[in-house]
């Protein structure tokens, strides 16, 4: 039988999403600061990945 989750240990979906956004932004900032990527390069890559994923859904 499945184990019931303790409500005190569950995390709100909003909290998970915000945490992911903060981590992504921090990573992008570090990569940009170190000269590894530019935000324009990142945006271009995001658009490529998004287009690829949308194409795969069809």
Q: Judge whether 19 lies within some domain.
A: yes
| pLDDT tens-place string over residues 12-47 | 899 999 999 999 999 999 999 999 999 999 999 999
Q: Judge whether 44 lies within some domain.
A: yes
Model confidence band, residue 10 (pLDDT cutoffs 50, 70, 90): confident
Cα(27)–Cα(51) distance, integer angstroms: 23
Specify the pLDDT at position 9. 74
Cα(48)–Cα(42) distance, integer angstroms: 10
- Full residue range of the structural domain in which residue 25 is found: 14-57
Rounded to 10 degrees, the C-alpha dihedral 30/38/46/14 comes to: 30
Q: Judge whether 3 lies within some domain.
A: no
Q: Judge whether 42 lies within some domain.
A: yes
Number of domains in the chain: 1
Q: Judge whether 2 lies within some domain.
A: no
Q: Judge whether 9 lies within some domain.
A: no
Specify the pLDDT at position 1. 60
Handedness of CA 5, 8, 11, 13 (dihedral sign): positive
């Amino acid at each position: 039988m499945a184990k019931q989750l303790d409500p005190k240990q569950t995390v709100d979906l909003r909290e998970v999403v915000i945490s992911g956004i903060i981590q992504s932004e921090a990573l992008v900032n570090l990569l940009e600061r170190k000269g590894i990527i530019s935000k324009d390069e990142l945006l271009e890559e995001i658009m490529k990945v998004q287009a690829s994923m949308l194409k795969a859904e069809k």
